[in-house]
A and B are shown apart, each in its own frame.
Chain A
């Protein structure tokens, strides 16, 4: 019984870490993988989703709708930002980093000035259940399901919808997609919006579990970048397997030596991967396949 409850604790922690890595990273992965844009304002789209969904929940909207609203608003803000700022910088990747970093600081400090140092969270719903004498949050299981559902949804979007096919064409040979009649600037705007909406969704999903402060994006951003760097450009070949491997590393080290060890383990993993596989798991898998 002791072994089984220990095993359950490990699986639960791995699943929890997997969900967190997938949900924080997939918006970043869409924007980086599909557009090559390194978006340092990723955390602030998460912040946007968290604040919007929490505000909506306080105003009486049921939690699932509040979370979706958070994603929707972040997506709209993302599209606006793409149209006004990001699209001027596609040929200049380094400038994009500086500009999105600036946007990130403006958003963080602006939130602090306008909304104060913190916002009352809604509290984690659903309560908990016991296994082997330890309590586990039911909501964390919901988050795991949400992570899997998000991956499935992205797979359907990119392989089964017209938008997905045109978006992949645009990413692979942009000028030819354009010459075949694809409005590539619209595709870029929608793709950036999708990435921002996924970030907002992550913010909305995690908002009930944490303290809402203007700098909360930073909690997600490091792990999101670690996952995308380890995974490489493809969401399905890269981000998902990277999140799975890193989740095992993190959960293993955390239950063995505590949270600090888990964080250090993630960073060590990313250093190793960059050294061995410069193009991430995606590059490795594509090379194996070719």
Chain B
């Protein structure tokens, strides 16, 4: 099956001030793929995610989304084009209720009230805890519940691509498995494209179709589906 390229970066350099963290990143993700970005701490994985959504202004290079250059666009414009971002540490709106958090995610959805309701029910069916706690303040949820809320919130905007930054961080192992399963299921049902940064071997193996390995601000290797099944290959790239 040939699928169109949805996201592509070419020679992306980005970072805070002086020396860029990303030293020229080239990745290419096709529609409907689930791709992991792995590597040790501090090699620029989160910076890549923030550059893709537009929270860090890129210094050089190109970012193409659905064939269009998004390089100079602000984050809210990229979100409206269909890029969803789930940050490291969740960053739910702590003093707002679960349902209000979801409504913020929905604000860019153009498809009308009826579809929004259907989508809300769909998200509740993936994450039943969100329905149960819909009037609770998001800041009082557990880490795993906040992660589900952060994913549900971004899905309310009906994105074509979601960027997940370390979804397993600070979450109990059984919830990690749940989240991995739900994302794979979502991808199978809706064809949503997923790019995620991860250190957790189980989650990588449960979700990823292939992997980019980053080191010192560039992509140094690519691991395909077959090599992913070999536990030691992946472990070697994550270790050191």
Q: Per a CB cutoff under 8 Å, which of B94, B95, B96, B153 touches A180?
A: B153
Question: Are A181 and B87 in contact, with the CB atoms below 8 A?
Answer: no
- Give the docked Cα–Cα distance between A169 and B105 (Å): 10
Q: A165-B107, A184-B76 are in contact. List 8 more A-B contacts (CB 8 A).
A: A166-B107, A172-B93, A172-B94, A172-B96, A179-B55, A180-B85, A180-B105, A182-B107
A191 to B198, CA, bound (A): 38
Q: At the interface, yes or no: A183 with Cβ under 8 Å from chain B?
A: yes
Given A166-B107, A169-B104, A173-B91, CB of A181 within 8 Å of CB of B79: yes
B76 engages A166 (CB within 8 Å): no
Tell me if A168 counts as interface (CB < 8 A to partner B): yes
Given A168-B96, A172-B95, residue A177 in contact with residue B55 (CB < 8 A)? no
| Contact between chains at B107 and A181 (CB < 8 Å) | yes
7 A-B contacts (beta carbon < 8 Å): A169-B100, A176-B93, A177-B93, A178-B76, A179-B85, A180-B85, A184-B76
The distance from the CB of A47 to the nearest CB of chain B, in whole angstroms, is 34
A165 B103 Cβ-Cβ under 8 A: yes
Please judge, given known A-B contacts A168-B96, A169-B96, whether A180 and B154 are in contact too, CB under 8 Å: yes
Shortest beta-carbon distance from B101 to chain A in Å: 8
B107/A162 in contact, CB under 8 A: yes
**Please, which residues of chain A bring their CB within 8 A of the CB of B79?**
178-181
User: Is A175 an interface residue, CB under 8 A from the partner?
Assistant: yes
Which residues of chain B have C-beta atoms less than 8 A from A165's C-beta?
96, 100, 103-104, 107
Query: In the complex the two chains form, is A176's CB within 8 Å of B87's CB?
Result: yes
Contact with A along B53-88 (1 / 0, CB 8 A): 111000000000000000000111001100011010
Q: Shortest 7 CB-CB distances between A and B: which pairs?
A: A181-B108, A181-B79, A169-B104, A179-B85, A172-B93, A176-B91, A178-B75
Contact A182 B96, CB 8 Å, known A166-B107, A177-B104: no
| Binary flags per residue of B199-218, CB closer than 8 Å to A gives 1, else 0 | 00000000000000000000
Write out the residue numbers on chain B whose beta carbons fall within 8 Å of the beta carbon of A184.
76
Q: Which residues of A contact B15 (CB under 8 A)?
A: none
In the bound complex, CA of A170 to CA of B101 (Å) = 11
CA distance A180 to B80 in the complex (A): 8
Name the contact of A183 in the complex, choosing from B53, B76, B94 (C-beta under 8 A): B76
B144 at the interface (CB under 8 A from A): no
Residues of B close to A176: CB separation below 8 A: 87, 91, 93
Contact A178 B74 (CB under 8 A): yes
Q: Which residue of B lies closest to A164 (CB)?
A: B100
Shortest C-beta distance, B6 to chain A (Å), equals 18
Does chain A have a CB within 8 A of B157?
yes
Cα-based distance from A166 to B79 in the complex (angstroms): 15
Contact call A173/B93, Cβ cutoff below 8 A: yes
A179 to B96, CA, bound (A): 17
